[in-house]
Amino acid sequence: MTIALSGKEIAHQMEEKFPQSIIESSPEWLVVDRQFLLEVAAYLKKTPKLDFDYLAAITAVDYLDYFEVNYLLTSLRRNHSLVLKARCYGRDNPSLPSVVSLWRSADFQEREIYDLFGISFEGHPNLKRIVLWDGFQGHPLRKDYL
């Protein structure tokens, strides 16, 4: 049975490692500050106890005043999972650090979020539109796109 690690527990561990990197946490998920995203993600992947080597999915949601990007992490060896969230504010050019360097599965999924939400990911090898043609104006999955 894949045990979903509780956000609070992981939040405490993160507190001593990376002070004030965690903005909010609840039993299911854990919100990380934008700057610390890469360090926390690398920590989650590298520490043998957590060992999150499998980034199952990246999804983004447009909550009108901020975009929230969820990273659904799983560990195949330890069979546990965690939901890591990152928020980016501002609607004209929201951006987040890209995690492609840690998990190559993020490659197409980040391109898709860039294409449909307009969130650009710094450090992504070839951030281009994946599903729509390059000349397309606007990002369809935003709530204000009609």
Contact between 72 and another protein per CB under 8 A? yes
Work out how close the CB of 107 gets to another protein at its nearest, in angstroms, rounded to a whole number: 5
Contact between 51 and another protein per CB under 8 A? no
Binds another protein by CB under 8 A, chosen from 6, 18, 43, 54:
54
Nearer to another protein, 46 or 104 (CB): 104
Using the structure block, give the residue that is written with the tokens 């909010």. Answer: 24
User: Which region, judged by CB under 8 A, interacts with another protein, from 12-20, 36-44, 88-96, 127-135?
Assistant: 127-135
As given in the structure block, the two tokens for residue 8 are 């609070």
Contact between 141 and another protein per CB under 8 A? yes
Binds another protein by CB under 8 A, chosen from 23, 107, 120, 127:
107
For Cα atoms 138, 96, 43, give the angle at the middle one, nearest 5 degrees. 150
Binding interface with another protein (CB under 8 A): 1-2, 53-57, 59, 61-62, 70, 72, 76, 79, 83, 103-105, 107-109, 112, 116, 129-133, 140-141
